Amino acid sequence: MQLEPFLLSYAGFASIALTTQRIRRNIAMPNLPKIGALRIFAAILFSLAASRAVDHFGAEKGWVAFIGMVCLSAVPLVLMISRWPRVGVSAGLGAVIVGLGAMLLNGAG
């Protein structure tokens, strides 16, 4: 699935968003992971997004695709967080599941 880099980047940004005190306060969710863990998780997700982009689009176009999708994925997240912060952040979890699921399926295929 070509959208994997987008989904993984969205999830990566959602993780970074959760490291800011303002958003943690706004969503008021219990048992949020620690900030350090979220940062590491975001770094892993962005690395996976880059790897999937290069895999799908080739080494030449892959990096362009990765940067483009990283930039674009933050836009819906910020729009969601501005109105429905919980939904925006929770969608990150959905994006991780779909993105990683598609990645594993592709790997298995």
User: Closest Cα partner for 12 from 52, 64, 58, 57?
Assistant: 52
Instruction: Give me the half-sphere count of Cα atoms (radius 13 Å) on the Cβ side of residue 84.
Output: 7
Decide if residue 75 touches other proteins (CB under 8 A).
yes
Q: How far is the CB of 72 from other proteins (least distance, A)?
A: 5
Q: Using CB under 8 A, which of the segments 33-41, 42-50, 74-82, 94-102 binds other proteins?
A: 74-82
Residue 44 found at the interface with other proteins (CB under 8 A): no
4-15 CB burial, b ≥16 within 10 A, e <16: bbbbbbbbbbbb
Question: What's the rounded Cα separation, in Å, for the pair 25 and 33?
Answer: 13
Count of residues engaged in binding other proteins, rule: CB under 8 A:
27
With binding defined as CB under 8 A, does residue 79 bind other proteins? yes
Least spacing, CB of residue 100 vs other proteins, in Å: 19
Exactly one of 7, 11, 17, 103 binds other proteins (CB under 8 A); that residue is 17
Q: How far is the CB of 66 from other proteins (least distance, A)?
A: 10
DSSP 31: S
